[in-house]
Amino acid sequence: MPNADASTMNAANGRFPLKRTDDGKAMLNIACGARTHRAWNNMDFSPYTRLASRPRTARFLHRVGVLSDVRYGRVQQVDPDVINWDLRNGIPFPDDTFDVVYHSHFLEHLERGVAPIVLRECLRAVRPGGFVRVVLPDLQALVKQYTDAFSAYERGSADAKQLHDAALYELFDQMVRTESDGTAQQTGWVRRIERKFRTAASTGELHKWMYDRYSLAALLKETGFRDPAARDHDTSAYPRWREFGLDTEPDGTPYKKHSLYMEAFK
């Protein structure tokens, strides 16, 4: 993922005004999907992003059955000001712009050699004293889920098979699935057509690598960040983190179980 050249960056800066929170912070959520906050600068390169700014098109596609109820609901959740941008062109803002750059369940979808390039681009865009917050599946937690399920089998627990199946699914499904999860939720002719043209690989759903708190901390240091520290889903160096609802549900529970949350500073 090379940095964008100067002409591309200048054009992008003209198109994408910088939003700030009510306390003056500039926050960036890359690869945001449908999980956005309206006070943030949200960025993604997906059908949800493109449809969020075209509500009439989204309504029509929902009415004719191309968009399922689930997909249509996700489109409606997206910030209508979301930036439709391919991160292979870099982050389209100048150096030292943001107080926080955040991405959730994104890094594990990248090849190992690409992940450092993305993190260095995050480092460039963060101001001195700001930080990156990385959220991704926690390999340690997933392995523990598996070993606990294995122990349940050895104890003869009645729910051992259910626990074991769930643990294996969490570990391996997104490494090996062929059908896109969104396609699997479709029905009838839409699913039949999508299965011909959309795969889990083509939609970027497959996991390319896994991290624990040691390997992620090492990667952050290698790319120039300092003081990496694991956090909880509702804690951060930014005291108001929970207000944004990016890692938490309304009741305060984690948005995604078995996640690792880590922050590191510039």
Task: Determine, yes or no, domain membership for 111.
Answer: yes
Same domain, 97 and 168: no
Are 134 and 262 in contact, with CB atoms under 8 Å apart? yes
Answer yes or no: is 80 within a domain.
no
Identify whether 159 is part of a domain.
yes
Task: Give per-residue pLDDT as tens, 76-117.
Answer: 888 889 999 999 999 999 999 999 999 999 999 999 999 999
Domain-terminating residue out of 176, 198, 226? 176
- Is residue 50 pLDDT above 90, yes or no? no
Range of the domain at 224: 6-45+85-138+211-265
Asked if 15 and 38 sit in the same domain, the reply is yes
Among 126, 150, 176, residue at a domain's last position: 176
Instruction: Tell me, yes or no, whether 107 lies in a domain.
Output: yes
For residue 199, is it within any domain?
Answer: no
pLDDT at position 194 = 66
The length of the chain is 266
Q: What average pLDDT score do residues 248-260 get? A: 95
CATH number at 90 reads 3.40.50.150
Is residue 70 classed exposed, middle or buried when 0-12, 13-18 and 19+ CB atoms within 10 A define those classes? Answer: exposed
pLDDT digits (tens, 9 = 90+) for 219-246: 999 999 999 999 999 999 999 999 999 9
pLDDT at 183: 65
pLDDT at 229: 98
Collapsed DSSP state (helix, strand, coil) of residue 196: helix
Q: Which of 171, 173, 152 is nearest to 162 (CA)?
A: 152
What pLDDT sits at residue 235? 97
How confident is the model at residue 201, as a pLDDT?
A: 78
How high does pLDDT run on average in the chain?
A: 89
pLDDT band with cut points at 50, 70 and 90 for residue 52: confident
**Could you report the per-residue pLDDT of 141-163, keeping only the tens digit for each?**
999 999 999 999 999 999 999 99
Q: Verify that 144 and 131 share a domain, yes or no.
A: no
123 and 148 share one domain: no
Residue percentage of the chain with pLDDT more than 90: 68
**Same structural domain for residues 144 and 133?**
no
Angle (CA) 126-129-133 rounded to 5° is 55
Together in a domain, 109 and 146: no
The count of structural domains within the chain is 2
pLDDT in tens, 158-200: 999 999 999 999 999 999 988 777 767 666 776 777 677 777 6
Are 124 and 215 found together in one domain? yes
Same domain, 130 and 148: no
Residues ≥6 apart with Cβ < 8 Å to 98: 26, 27, 28, 41, 125, 126, 127, 130
At residue 12, the pLDDT reads 52
Give the pLDDT of residue 13.
53
